[in-house]
Amino acid sequence: MEIRTRFAPSPTGFMHLGGLRTALYNYLYARKMGGKFILRIEDTDQDRFVEGATEVIYDTLRGCGINWDEGPDVGGPCGPYVQSERKALYLPYAKQLVEKGAAYYCFCTKEELDERRAAAEAKGEVFKYDKHCMNLSKEEVEEKLASGIPYVIRMNCPTTGESTYHDVVFGDMTFPNDTLDDMILIKADGMPTYNFANVIDDHLMGITHVMRGMEYLSSTPKYNLLYNAFGWEIPEYVHLTTVMRDSQHKLSKRDGDAYYSDFIEKGYLKEALINYLALVGWNPGDEREFFTMDELVEAFDIHRLNNAPGIFDMDKLTWFNAEYIRKMPFEDYLATVTPWFDKVLAGTDTDYRRLAELMQSRTEVFNRVPDMVRFLAEMPEYDLELYFNKKMKSDPQVALENLQFILPVLESVPEWTETTIHDKVMEAIAAAGKKNGAVLWPLRIAISGQASTPGGAFEIAYLLGREETMKRLNAALAKLSENA
C-alpha cells in the first residue's frame, strides 16, 4: 500500500507554527515511507478567505524545503486540489447519505436556531441540534425543496452508545454518542462544510494517514460515522498535540510568536526554525538535536510523537538559531546581515565585511544586530561608571590619565588600518610600562560608549575611521576632565 499524507490548510492569512509543524510531519512521514505528500487548499469558508493567502502557503512550505507531490499548482491524478473547485462533487454524496438515513434536510432558520440556543444556554445546557427536521415526512421535505425554501443537510448522529477509534498518538479514544451533534454537511449556499469536504476529499485522494491537530480528536467519531455510512475504509489517525508557548499559554498573534513570518521577520533562519519545530512534539530517540531535512526524513517515526503539549521554548529556538548562524558560510552571513547593518549604518563608510567578521559569532537573532552596531553610527550617551573596572584597576581618573597618554599616539598613526593602530598603540604601551587593559579598556569605552562591543578598541577605532575616533576620544577627555 502506498502511504499518502496530506496537508490541508485554509487560506485565511499567515502560516501558523502549529500548521507548519503539521505540514512538516506529514511531509517527513510520506518521504520516510516512500509515499506521496499532497497539498490541498480548503477554502470552503469563503467568509474567512484572505486574498494572497494561498501564495503565502506555497511560499512558506517551499521556502522551508517542504515540497508536495500533488497539489493545486503541480496537478496530480486526484485534482482539482482546491475545495471550491470541487464544489459539484459534494452534494451528490450528501444526497446519498440522505437516502441511507445517515443525513437529512434541515430547513430551520437562523432565528429559530438562535432562539433554541438561547433557551439551552438559559438552562445552563450546551446547545445541540434537536433533530427537529428529522420528523418531517418525505412529502413535506419534497414540498419545501420544490418551494425553494433554503436548507442545509445535516448528518444523523446516533444518540445512544459509544464511538471508539484508535489514534497513533493517543491510543484508543472513546466518546459517548449523545455528545455528538448533527453537524451540517452542506451549507445553505451549497458549499460543503470543512468537516464534510474533508472526509470526501481524503477518501477520493486515497489518504492513508490523517495527521492533524488534536483539536479534531472529538470530531473524529463523526468523521468515522461518515466513512462507515459510505462503506469506506477509515484512515489511520495521528493527532498532534498543540504547540504551546508554555504549559499554560498557546502561541499568540498578539505576542508575535504564532506565525512563521513573525520569526522570519525577526531574523530567525528558516533552517533553524524547521529543525527546532520538528523537535517540538517529537523526539528522535537519541541525543541528536541538529538535523538537515534529509536527516529528519531518515529519523522520523510517528510512534515517537509525544502526547504531551509541545512547548515552543523561545530561548531554545534562539540558541538553535545562534548555532546555525555560526555555521553559516561567511559570504552567506554577510549577505544576510547586510540589510540589518543598513538599518542603522546606511550612508556611513563602515567596512561591512570586517564588521560581519566580528559579528557572526555574536549574532543570535538578526533583528538584534542593529542595536549592537548602532554605536558606530552615533555615539551613545553613557555613564562614567563604565570606566570603573576592578580587574583593570580602572576608574574615571585613571581612565583620564591613560586616554591623555594614548591621544598623541593615535594622532601619530600614519595609515589608519587595524594593523597599524594595533602596532602603534601596543608599542607605546610597552614602552611606557603600562598594562594593556588599563589603556585599552577606557579607550574602547571612550569611542564606543558601551561595555560590550563586537571587537575591541583596535577594531572599533578602525571601523569608526580616524576622524570619528579622534572626535569621540577628545569628547571623552573633555567629559572626564569636567568630572575630575
Find the largest Cα–Cα distance for the chain.
Answer: 110
Distances (CA, A) of 423 to 409, 431, 433, 458: 11, 12, 15, 10
Name the nearest CA neighbour of 374 among 355, 393, 357, 395: 355
Q: Which three cell numbers stand for residue 281?
A: 512534539
Identity of residue 207: I
- By three-state DSSP, how is residue 40 classified? coil
Confirm if 237 and 304 have CB atoms less than 8 A apart. no
Name the nearest CA neighbour of 105 among 173, 179, 193, 188: 188
- By three-state DSSP, how is residue 306 classified? coil
Angle ∠(205,11,76) on CA atoms, nearest 5? 30
- By three-state DSSP, how is residue 174 classified? strand
Residue count (the chain)? 484
Q: Which three cell numbers stand for residue 225?
A: 460515522
**Distance separating alpha carbons of residues 11 and 97, to the nearest angstrom:** 29
What are the two backbone dihedrals, phi and then psi, of residue 75, each rounded to the nearest 5 degrees? Answer: 75, -165
**Distance separating alpha carbons of residues 257 and 2, to the nearest angstrom:** 37
**Distance separating alpha carbons of residues 101 and 454, to the nearest angstrom:** 73
Q: Which of 253, 327, 393, 435 is catalytic?
A: 253
240-252 as b/e: b if 16+ CB within 10 A = bbebbbeeeebbe
- By three-state DSSP, how is residue 19 classified? helix
Angle ∠(277,281,283) on CA atoms, nearest 5? 90
Look-up of cell digits 503541480: 74
Look-up of cell digits 573596572: 389
**Distance separating alpha carbons of residues 78 and 93, to the nearest angstrom:** 17
Distances (CA, A) of 130 to 45, 157, 161: 25, 11, 17
Q: Which three cell numbers stand for residue 21?
A: 509543524
Q: Is 253 a catalytic residue?
A: yes
Starting at the edge strand that comes first in sequence, how are the strands of the sheet with 103-106 ordered? 103-106, 152-155, 184-186
The catalytic residue positions are: 253
